[in-house]
Amino acid sequence: MNPMSYTPDDLQRFLDIASEAVSAGGAVLQHYWGNLSDIRSKGRPGDLVTEADKAAEKEVLAVLRRHVPTHAILAEESGSLGEPTGGLLWAVDPLDGTTNYTHQYPFCGCSVGLLIEGKPAVGAIFDPARNHLFRAAKGLGATCNREPISVSDTATLANSLLVTGFGYDRRETIDNNYAEFCHLTHLSQGVRRGGAASIDLAYVACGWLDGYWERGLSPWDLAAGVVLVEEAGGQVTAYDQSPFVVESGRILATNGKIQAELSEVLVSVKPLARFIPD
């Protein structure tokens, strides 16, 4: 079914469900803040899971099951649940920024997005450190704590503040974003590394950052934040400005004004092969 086949009332209802889910998950994250006893590695250095990730996911799934029991879900810690019907798939990241969270670095979020026919259509993100609730749905606008938000009007890369991230596979591939980070650090006012893709995207939507790019991501990292940026007046594409595909894990999201300039750099940068250890 085409995303447009769902009415604004349907999307509003899905947005309220997503908001309830991230608020429930976010409350769990607040509960465990600074009180973790079970921090485990998922394999790659820095790729961690804690009892807070699992408990938050349980709360998020309980809300989704209560309101939309037949809908399919893709959740980071539980995997694929149910068969997609009506082209709907919920993408759940119960704790985006787990590494930050384990260090009590207050930059993380609970993120729930709804994909309709693979396209991000609804998203809610809760930042438990600041009590920020970010919400957006196709055609309904974007808000932070119910106040409308919009992207910045920074017009050039030279005047922009950017953010990016580095996937957990960064030691295994020359496509590790190191070269892009170096180049863009020179070409902009700065490149931050937030450590939570969903909050990076929310901050672009708020106009606090002008652009974000990253590779190696999963649908649960991106689904909600993409809707926020688009509904806040920004642009989301692949690195080469072709249409964004959530499964690619590769995203360029900006205020729209610096999309072309940033894209030009991303498609032309050569990898820094020497940073791959032997």
Residue 92 is classified by DSSP as E
As beta bridge partners, residue 143 has 135, 148
- Residues 88 and 114 sit within 8 Å (Cβ to Cβ): yes
Residues 216-245, interacting with ligand IPD (CB under 6 A): 216-217, 221
Q: Which does 127 bind (CB under 5 to 8 A by kind): ligand IPD, Ca ion, none?
A: none
Q: Identify the H or E element spanning 95.
A: strand 88-96
Binding site for Ca ion (CB under 5 A): 76, 93, 95-96, 221
Q: Closer CB to ligand IPD, residue 105 or residue 166?
A: 166
Task: Indicate the residue among 28 and 197 with the shorter CB distance to ligand IPD.
Answer: 197
Site string for ligand IPD, 191-220 (x = CB under 6 A): ----xxx----------------x-xx---
The three-class DSSP label of residue 216 is coil
Rounded to whole angstroms, the Cα distance separating 143 from 157 reads: 26
Residue 165, contacted partner among Ca ion, ligand IPD, none, CB below 5-8 A by kind: ligand IPD
- Which residue lies nearer to Ca ion by CB, 96 or 200? 96
Per CB under 6 A, contacts with ligand IPD among 76-115 are 93, 96-99
Which residue, chain included where needed, has tokens 């609730």? 133
CB burial readout 113-151, b (16+ within 10 A) else e: bbbbeebbbbbbbbbbbeebbbbbbbeeebbbeeeebeb
Of 254, 246, 191, 263, the closest CA to residue 228 belongs to 254
Question: Shortest distance, CB of residue 98 to ligand IPD, whole angstroms?
Answer: 4
Using CB under 6 A as the binding rule, whether residue 177 contacts ligand IPD is answered as: no
Site string for ligand IPD, 137-166 (x = CB under 6 A): ----------------------------xx
Q: What angle do CA 107, 235, 267 make, to 5 degrees?
A: 90
**Residue 167: which of Ca ion, ligand IPD, none does it interact with, CB under 5 to 8 A by kind?**
ligand IPD
Distance (Å, rounded) from C-alpha 29 to C-alpha 36?
Answer: 10
Token pair in block for residue 24? 């429930």
Which residue has its beta carbon closest to ligand IPD? 165
The residue among 11 and 180 lying less far from ligand IPD, judged by its C-beta, is: 180
Query: Minimum Å distance from CB 261 to Ca ion?
Result: 27
Minimum separation from the CB atom of position 100 to ligand IPD (A) = 7
**Nearer Cβ to ligand IPD (11/18):** 18
- Local structure of residue 74 (DSSP, 8 states): E
Rank residues 3 and 225 by Cβ distance to ligand IPD and give the closer one.
Answer: 225
Q: Which does 231 bind (CB under 5 to 8 A by kind): Ca ion, ligand IPD, none?
A: none
Q: Which is nearer to ligand IPD, 11 or 162 (CB)?
A: 162
What residues contact 210, with CB distance under 8 A and at least 6 apart?
A: 151, 152, 154, 159, 160, 161, 162, 204, 254, 255, 257, 258
Q: Interface with ligand IPD by CB under 6 A: which residues?
A: 93, 96-99, 165-167, 195-197, 214, 216-217, 221
